[in-house]
Amino acid sequence: MSQSTTDHLTDNSTGMSYLDSLPRRIVTVFLPLLIFVFVLLFPFYWMAITAVKPNFQLTDYNNYSPLWVVQPTLDHIKYLLFETSYPAWLWNTIFISVAATFISLVTSVFAAYAIERLRFHGSRWVGLGIFLAYLVPPSILFIPLAIMVFGIGIYDTKLALILTYPTFLVPFSTWLLMGYFRSIPFELEECALVDGASRWQILIKVLLPLSVPGLISAGIFSFTLSWNEFIYALTFIQSSENKTVPVGVLTELVRSDVYEWGSLMAGALIGSLPVVILYSFFVDYYVSSMTGAVKE
């Protein structure tokens, strides 16, 4: 081992020596981690206990603590699942999110491949323009999109959301995949061209198999944004049976100044579970692909 390598390892070990002391580990590691976990998990805990609290405990803080449940009940969950259209909202959200994510991924793959691998004149400016389009807030876009939705005749249909969601999904997904495609050596593509492969074969058989983490990351990102989207769903959907979970929970469970807090929290908790499960399965791919995109 060279002297420089030895010195580098010595410097690293010396730099981490301050963690040998338990009080320092508590202050610099465990305490920040505890605060982070508390901030992350407390909203889920609050939703869970509110969802199973009887109504009289939700406001009677003199006799009941707000931080735990004395007599849990499933009445709010039963009301949500069997007396509202929540199952239909959940299905609508899943269907719209999956469809919009699929359309966005296909579009982003072609756009990212064309910008990064075909090397046409002005490709960098096109990539920058696509990313800048992501920065345009939906509150500005929904007005011209509403005119188009009404003009096409798809207002109050799932198709209205499936076709409008890619307007904010494609730009970021394209930028993410551009960074991932850029990290794949051009020599692989050149070897495939020498062997007689077409551009389509290179994309399908060479680039996409190597870009699975990036595709998973873009898919998770698109699915999450579609799942939580509110403005377009509120603007383009009117009938209760076509609403998504974010809009349905807010508009159907809040009547004037009456808030169905138990059902609201139950709906929010159940609605967050699919995204949590999705992230738990693919978190390694998501982190690796985001790291690769940022590096590039």
Q: Which domains does the chain have, with CATH numbers?
A: 16-73 (no CATH), 79-294 (1.10.3720.10)
- Residues in contact with 29: Cβ distance below 8 Å, sequence separation at least 6, in sequence order: 19
- C-beta of residue 86 within 8 angstroms of C-beta of residue 248: yes
Q: Which residue has the higher pLDDT, 73 or 26?
A: 73
Within its chain, how far is the Cα of 24 from the centroid? Answer: 36
End-to-end CA gap in the chain: 31
- What is the predicted pLDDT for the residue at 267? 92
- Residues in contact with 113: Cβ distance below 8 Å, sequence separation at least 6, in sequence order: 181, 203, 207
> Per-residue pLDDT averaged across 106-133, rounded?
85
Pick the range with the lowest mean pLDDT from 18-27, 114-123, 164-173. Answer: 18-27
- What is the predicted pLDDT for the residue at 288? 60
Q: Would the pLDDT of 161 be above 60?
A: yes
- What is the predicted pLDDT for the residue at 165? 94
Q: How confident is the model at residue 285 (pLDDT cuts 50, 70, 90)?
A: low
pLDDT in tens, 221-265: 899 999 999 999 999 999 989 999 999 998 888 877 778 888 999
Pick the range with the lowest mean pLDDT from 25-29, 35-39, 157-161. Answer: 25-29
Report the alpha-carbon distance of residue 281 to residue 296 in Å, rounded: 25
> Per-residue pLDDT averaged across 23-35, rounded?
83
Report the alpha-carbon distance of residue 74 to residue 262 in Å, rounded: 10
Reported pTM = 0.82
Q: Would the pLDDT of 296 be above 70?
A: no
